[in-house]
Amino acid sequence: MASNGVPRLPLISAAASFVAFAAFSLWRWLTGGQVVDRLALHFTNSVLHGWFDRFVSSLWPLGEPQLGGILTASVAAVLLVRGRWKGALTVVVFFAVLTGAELGMRAVEGVVSGAGIGKDALVHSYPSGHTARVPLIGGMITALAPARWRAWVAGLTVLVATLVAMDRTDSTLQTGSDVVGGLLLGTWLAFAFAVIRR
């Protein structure tokens, strides 16, 4: 346990994932991320074939902001019904922080690159909101779930996040570096939520 009562593992995980996200974002902005883009596309092209490709492609709605909003509102509603208004507020705030960070970073990138901040730049740019929402929402549900279910929910979250990331890359809706940045952003906020919850 840390001196403030927060277990060390979530605290270390939150700090490490923030550093990883910040470092990757800086590297991506400095280099353009083409190395990761090529490797990710080569990987998805080599593993997504036939029924598996169709299955992974069918998972695209799981990263949509509308579904993320519905899931967030549902979790918050359950917490409110149980009299846990602080938990409900925290869930909503973390989803809003993710949305704000995602759109803010895209707007800055659009202005700096000269591409502007039109609809396409806000939807298909760095970081990927689709791949950020899955680990955040899954991580929040994991932290709130009874202890006996946490490993299962966490495992399912990792699996779904990976498959959604593969679909975003394979469909060329976003680049591999967009997707990695989204995964790192969502993971960081999920660990931060776990720290605050405790």
Predicted confidence band of residue 76 (pLDDT cuts 50, 70, 90): very high
pLDDT of residue 7: 64
C-alpha to C-alpha distance for 64 and 118, rounded to whole angstroms:
19
Predicted confidence band of residue 164 (pLDDT cuts 50, 70, 90): very high
pTM, rounded to two decimals: 0.88
C-alpha to C-alpha distance for 103 and 131, rounded to whole angstroms:
14
What Rg, from alpha-carbon coordinates, does the chain have?
17
Domain contains 2: no
Range(s) of the domain holding residue 131: 8-197
User: How many domains is the chain built from?
Assistant: 1
Residue with tokens 């080599």: 46
Q: Which amino acid is at 110?
A: G
Domain contains 109: yes
Domain contains 3: no
Domain contains 193: yes
C-alpha to C-alpha distance for 90 and 65, rounded to whole angstroms:
18
The 8-class DSSP code of residue 70 comes to: H
User: Largest Cα–Cα distance of the chain, in whole Å?
Assistant: 53
23-66 residue pLDDT tens? 999 999 889 899 999 999 999 999 999 999 999 999 989 989 99
Predicted confidence band of residue 79 (pLDDT cuts 50, 70, 90): very high
pLDDT of residue 8: 80
110-153 residue pLDDT tens? 666 565 555 555 556 788 999 999 999 999 999 999 989 999 99
